């Protein structure tokens, strides 16, 4: 027999009952969840400045909380504790307290320390950016009085944001023409051509074969022989750079010598040589011109191209991405320069040193996302490594400013944002998104990636409200990079991350 349709009154009544039932269930769930959470601790917190972005924190947990937690643990133990001569759960409370005093005290201490630190963070009394300088094993649970502990911690800088909307930004613009592509193609074929002897003075784009002698304060510190070097405006070694290389070496002939100034990296393992200017003497054995490669089908297939038009299209896309990257870089630099100037603060040297490697990791991710090739990234990384400390200080200030903008504007990073970024990197590197994600997680770079996305979204908001003035695009000059070192055995060393320090310490302990 078919059911009789409900009247309107019945529908409303049952609907209301259903809504009431759902609300009651929700209230019960919330109540149950609240019961599972530990009661807030009664504690007093003293915070004082002890240096740039560094606080000293003193936490005092009330004795009533200590006693309550001890009583709860003992009561749990009394029900199940095994004490010789008594059945489980039948031993006198005093005996259980005495037998398990140390274990209970350690457990209670650990729980109180953990909860108090979480409560301290939730109350936003401090905004830590690193693990506190704190040894929980050194803290004793007192038999009387409050539980007191102290520590130092690095925190985010405190500053007021200046007005960040309506900024005036210069934007480099460049329309890539066919003539530009012709020039890019000519340069590409030259860079992949063959070197042939040249009986004339060296010019930009030529190759010299030279012995190099490195000296500091009149003393030879290293020597390299038979090094082939393309003459570009700048020459980068693994541990230093000659910024006027092209200007000073142009015109040299076989059998001649030139002495040039080489500036060593700030991150050398030898602190006495960091940033020092030394002499590099080039004794030229030969000068060679570059005979451009022929764009034959065999040559093109080496680069995954089927035709000359494919190569031209690739070069056009690469240069267009380069212009976009430069636009963003210059805009970002102008924004952060302005914000950093108007919001002054000092950063602790320990923080800058610790973050140097992470800064480079983030730069690499940004370049990969922009479609810069691995070879080009390696070339740029040599220069970035040499200026890692200075760049890190700038990047940290930029990071704090953009993160604060993100906080004010309630900007968040979603799972979709991360997936899109991984897809973009995968497209540019030719890997699958799954492989890119696995590599990022394996290298512990997910936090860096999410930070990069958050900062970019904050920057996008600032740029969306900016006023633009178009200026002519000036391409960056990337130096010729060679594998030689000016200082023997002194490779560029960046400070280890805390995870790497811990791994190194574990390996050293194991080897001993």
Q: What is the pLDDT of residues 154-208, one digit of tens each?
A: 888 888 888 889 989 888 888 888 998 999 999 899 888 999 999 899 999 899 9
Distance separating the N- and C-terminal Cα atoms of the chain: 86
Nearest to 481 by CA among 374, 382, 377, 363: 382
Cα 306–chain centre separation: 38
How far apart CA 203 and CA 201 sit, in angstroms, is 7
SS3 495: coil
**Was domain 168-172+309-481 assigned CATH 2.40.50?**
no
pLDDT at residue 340, rounded to an integer: 66
Q: Average pLDDT over the chain, rounded to whole? A: 81
Sketch the domain layout of the chain as residue ranges: 43-154, 168-172+309-481, 177-291
Percent of the chain scoring above 90 in pLDDT: 35
pLDDT at residue 390, rounded to an integer: 67
Take residue 393 and report the two structure tokens written for it: 């200080």
Stronger pLDDT, 61 or 332, i.e. the higher one: 61
How far apart CA 116 and CA 108 sit, in angstroms, is 12
pLDDT at residue 157, rounded to an integer: 82
Other Cβ atoms less than 10 A from the Cβ of 324: the count is 13
pLDDT at residue 476, rounded to an integer: 66
How far apart CA 19 and CA 502 sit, in angstroms, is 54
Find out whether 294 and 209 touch, Cβ atoms under 8 Å. Answer: no
Q: Render 465-479 in DSSP notation, one character per residue.
A: T-EEEEEE-----PP
43-51 and 480-481: which strand pairing?
Answer: unpaired
Q: What is the DSSP letter of 268?
A: B
pLDDT at residue 175, rounded to an integer: 85
Stronger pLDDT, 148 or 10, i.e. the higher one: 148
pLDDT at residue 380, rounded to an integer: 66
* Residue 504 pLDDT exceeds 80: no
> Span 347-351, mean pLDDT?
73
- Among 109-123, 322-336, 366-380, 461-475, which is the least confidently predicted range? 366-380
How far apart CA 294 and CA 172 sit, in angstroms, is 34
Find out whether 411 and 459 touch, Cβ atoms under 8 Å. Answer: no
pTM for this structure? 0.53
How far apart CA 409 and CA 5 sit, in angstroms, is 52
* Residue 5 pLDDT exceeds 60: no
> Span 319-328, mean pLDDT?
82
Q: What is the DSSP letter of 124?
A: T
Task: Among 1.10.10.200, 3.30.70.1050, 3.30.70.1290, 3.40.50.720, name the CATH number for the domain at 43-154.
Answer: 3.30.70.1050
Take residue 93 and report the two structure tokens written for it: 């409370």
- Answer whether 168-172+309-481 and 177-291 agree in fold: no
Cα separations in angstroms, 371 against 140, 395, 438: 55, 21, 19
Q: What are phi and psi of 46, to 5 degrees?
A: -115, 125
Stronger pLDDT, 179 or 342, i.e. the higher one: 179
Take residue 331 and report the two structure tokens written for it: 């805009």
How far apart CA 386 and CA 372 sit, in angstroms, is 20
Which residues, listed in sequence order, are joined to residue 45 by a DSSP beta bridge? Answer: 59
Q: What share of the chain is helix, strand, coil (3-state, %, to 5)?
A: 50, 20, 30
Find out whether 150 and 57 touch, Cβ atoms under 8 Å. Answer: yes
> What is the pLDDT confidence band of residue 273, given thresholds at 50, 70 and 90?
confident
Residues 205-233 have pLDDT tens digits of 899 999 999 999 999 999 999 999 999 99
Q: What is the CATH number of domain 177-291?
A: 3.10.50.40
Stronger pLDDT, 440 or 78, i.e. the higher one: 440
Residues 279-299 have pLDDT tens digits of 999 999 999 999 999 999 999
C-alpha Rg value of the chain to the nearest Å? 32
* Residue 78 pLDDT exceeds 80: no
SS3 509: helix
pLDDT at residue 329, rounded to an integer: 79
**Three-state SS string across 372-438, please?**
CCHHHHHHHHHHHHHCHHHHHHHHHHHHHHHHHHHHHCCCCCCHHHHHHHHHHHHHHHCCCHHHHHH
Q: What are phi and psi of 154, to 5 degrees?
A: -85, 135
> Span 285-314, mean pLDDT?
92
> Span 407-436, mean pLDDT?
91
Sign of the dihedral defined by the CA atoms of residues 430, 431, 437, 441, in that order: negative
> Span 263-274, mean pLDDT?
82
Residues 88-134 have pLDDT tens digits of 766 777 777 777 788 888 888 999 999 998 888 888 778 787 788 88
Other Cβ atoms less than 10 A from the Cβ of 492: the count is 20
Please list, in sequence order, all residues whose beta carbon lies within 8 angstroms of the beta carbon of residue 244, skipping any fewer than 6 positions away.
Answer: 233, 234, 260, 261
pLDDT at residue 251, rounded to an integer: 95
* Residue 420 pLDDT exceeds 90: yes
Count of CA atoms in the C-beta half-sphere (13 A) of 203: 5
* Residue 478 pLDDT exceeds 50: yes
> What is the pLDDT confidence band of residue 482, given thresholds at 50, 70 and 90?
confident
How far apart CA 247 and CA 231 sit, in angstroms, is 9
Among 21-30, 90-99, 130-139, 457-466, top mean pLDDT goes to 457-466
Take residue 211 and report the two structure tokens written for it: 């012995």
Please list, in sequence order, all residues whose beta carbon lies within 8 angstroms of the beta carbon of residue 331, skipping any fewer than 6 positions away.
Answer: 169, 171, 459, 463, 466
Find out whether 261 and 268 touch, Cβ atoms under 8 Å. Answer: no
**Widest distance between CA atoms in the chain:** 111
pLDDT at residue 458, rounded to an integer: 92
Which residues, listed in sequence order, are joined to residue 286 by a DSSP beta bridge? Answer: 209
Our CA angle for 12, 18, 23, nearest 5°, is 125
pLDDT at residue 388, rounded to an integer: 63
How far apart CA 420 and CA 425 sit, in angstroms, is 9
pLDDT at residue 398, rounded to an integer: 79
Number of helices (H), then strands (E), in the chain: 15, 13
């Amino acid at each position: 027999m078919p059911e009789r349709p409900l009247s309107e009154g019945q529908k409303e009544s049952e609907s209301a009952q259903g809504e009431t039932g759902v609300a009651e269930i929700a209230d019960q769930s919330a109540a149950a969840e609240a019961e599972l959470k530990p009661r807030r601790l009664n504690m007093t917190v003293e915070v004082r400045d002890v240096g740039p972005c560094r606080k000293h924190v003193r936490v005092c947990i009330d004795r009533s909380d200590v006693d309550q937690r001890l009583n709860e643990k003992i009561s749990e133990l009394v029900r199940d504790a095994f004490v010789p001569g008594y059945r489980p759960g039948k031993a006198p409370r005093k005996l259980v307290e005495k037998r398990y005093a140390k274990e209970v005290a350690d457990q209670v201490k650990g729980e109180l320390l953990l909860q108090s630190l979480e409560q301290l963070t939730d109350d936003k009394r401090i905004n830590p950016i690193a693990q506190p300088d704190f040894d929980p094993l050194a803290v004793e649970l007192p038999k009387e009085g409050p539980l007191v502990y102290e520590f130092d911690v690095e925190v985010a800088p405190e500053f007021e944001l200046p007005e960040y909307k309506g900024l005036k930004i210069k934007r480099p613009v460049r329309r890539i023409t066919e003539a530009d592509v012709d020039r890019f193609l000519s340069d590409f074929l030259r860079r992949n051509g063959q070197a042939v002897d040249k009986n004339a003075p060296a010019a930009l784009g030529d190759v010299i074969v030279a012995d190099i002698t490195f000296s500091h304060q009149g003393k030879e510190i290293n020597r390299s022989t038979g090094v082939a070097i393309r003459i570009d405006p700048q020459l980068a070694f693994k541990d230093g750079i000659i910024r006027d290389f092209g200007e000073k070496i142009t015109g040299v002939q076989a059998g001649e010598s030139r002495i040039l100034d080489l500036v060593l990296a700030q991150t050398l393992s030898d602190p006495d040589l960091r940033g020092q200017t030394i002499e590099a003497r080039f004794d030229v054995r030969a000068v060679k011109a570059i005979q451009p490669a022929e764009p034959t089908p065999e040559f093109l297939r080496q680069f995954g191209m089927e035709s000359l038009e494919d190569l031209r299209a690739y070069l056009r896309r690469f240069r267009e991405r380069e212009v976009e990257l430069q636009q963003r870089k210059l805009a970002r630099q102008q924004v952060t320069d302005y914000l950093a100037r108007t919001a002054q603060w000092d950063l602790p040297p320990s923080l800058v040193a610790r973050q140097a490697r992470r800064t480079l990791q983030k730069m690499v991710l940004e370049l990969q996302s922009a479609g810069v090739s691995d070879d080009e990234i390696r070339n740029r990384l040599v220069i970035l490594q040499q200026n890692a400390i200075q760049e890190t200080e700038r990047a940290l200030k930029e990071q704090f400013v953009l993160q604060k903008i993100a906080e004010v504007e309630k900007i968040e990073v979603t799972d979709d944002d991360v997936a899109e970024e991984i897809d973009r990197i995968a497209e540019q590197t030719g890997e699958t998104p799954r492989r890119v994600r696995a590599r990022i997680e394996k290298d512990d770079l997910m936090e860096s990636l999410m930070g990069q996305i958050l900062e970019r979204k904050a920057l996008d908001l600032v740029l969306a409200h900016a006023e633009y003035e178009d200026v002519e695009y000036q391409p960056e000059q990337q130096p010729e990079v060679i594998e030689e070192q000016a200082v023997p055995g002194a490779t560029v060393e960046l400070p280890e991350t805390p995870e790497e320090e811990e791994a190194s310490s574990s390996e050293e302990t194991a080897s001993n």
